[in-house]
Structure 1
Amino acid sequence: MPQANVYAVASKDIVFESFDGEAVVLDLASGKYFGFSDSGSRVWQALSSGVGAQALAGSIAGAVATGATGLDAFIAQLVELGLLVPSDGTAQPLPDELAAELAAAKEPLNVSVHDDLADLIIVDPIHEVEEPLGWPAVKQAS
């Protein structure tokens, strides 16, 4: 079982979106982006929305593609990559639809790291703005 039951997105610099059920995560601070397998996308979706790891482990215990041992390793990898941190929050229940999608997932839990666009993402001036003013007001160095 994972050390913590509930996790949260590690930083406001980590943004994510789901396209047709596939999660894409971008770390604006490092410029790295992350892609997930089908089961990994579902687990990310659950963990980033506050679903407890115990609820996930119970729902995928019989799934060949993931399994509880694979879940522990996957969560540890997400924490190591700096995408998730343990949270003191209250665990949210796993939605039935997401549980069914996890049970039907065919690929093992996997996250791939891409840094081929990191230089472009980091120097993107749109992300270097004064919060209340927005672009094109460039943030002044302090």
Structure 2
Amino acid sequence: MRQSGVYAIASKDIVFESFDGEAVVLDLTTGKYFGFSDSGSRLWDALSSGVPASELVGAATGIGALDAAAIDGFVSQLLEFGLLAAVTDGVARPVPSELLAQLAAAGEPLKVDIHDDLADLIVVDPIHEVEEPLGWPAVKQAN
């Protein structure tokens, strides 16, 4: 398994919330937001809190056991999208027993959906990007 280390949220510009067990992750820099399947939401919760990917191999879901290749692909996507970053000095956390129960109830394979339909509005953040002499909204410049 390639992606076996400990991960953390990649930057302060990555924010997330769970709604009825579904995680929605927002990248404030690009304005893209990401939705996960129910099993993906559970893995996001685990990975973003320091549970090593290798600890999740073999966890039972409603559709079978998570295999190393599926987890590896999911982690690769999260790294590619800049949502997670590998942590070299991170402390690995054990898999919470409630997460194992939630994974067992998950009925969808690992999946990431990307949405950018609101990206322009999210990037123009009129509340947090106020420039006193200019007023708002202040458009963030691409780097």
TM over 0.5: yes
Contact 1:65 1:106 in 2 (8 A): no
Q: Decide which moves more: 34-43 or 118-127.
A: 118-127
Instruction: Specify the alignment match of 2:107 in structure 1.
Output: 106
* Aligned counterparts, 1:33-44, within 5 A: 33-44=33-44
- Alpha-carbon distance between aligned partners in 2 of 1:127 and 1:46, rounded to the nearest angstrom: 30
* Aligned counterparts, 1:1-142, within 5 A: 1-60=1-60, 64=64, 66-88=66-88, 89-129=90-130
Q: TM-score, normalised by structure 1?
A: 0.84
Q: Which runs of 4+ in 1 moved over 3 A?
A: 60-63, 136-139
Identity of aligned residues (%): 65
How many residues are aligned here? 135
* Shift, 1:6, TM fit: 0.4
CA RMSD in angstroms, aligned pairs only? 2.5
CA offsets per residue over residues 69-110 of structure 1, 9 Å max, x none? 111100001100110110120110110010111122110000
Contact 2:60 2:103 in 1 (8 A): yes
Q: TM-score, normalised by structure 2?
A: 0.84
Q: Any unmatched runs of 5+ in structure 1?
A: 131-135
Point out the structure with the larger helix share.
1
Change (3 A) 1:54 1:60: farther
Q: Decide which moves more: 48-57 or 21-30.
A: 48-57
Q: Any unmatched runs of 5+ in structure 2?
A: none
* Shift, 1:4, TM fit: 4.1
* Shift, 1:46, TM fit: 0.4
- Alpha-carbon distance between aligned partners in 1 of 2:65 and 2:52, rounded to the nearest angstrom: 20
Report the 3-state secondary structure (helix = DSSP H, G, I; strand = E; otherwise coil) of the residue aligned with 2:16: strand
Contact 1:6 1:86 in 2 (8 A): yes
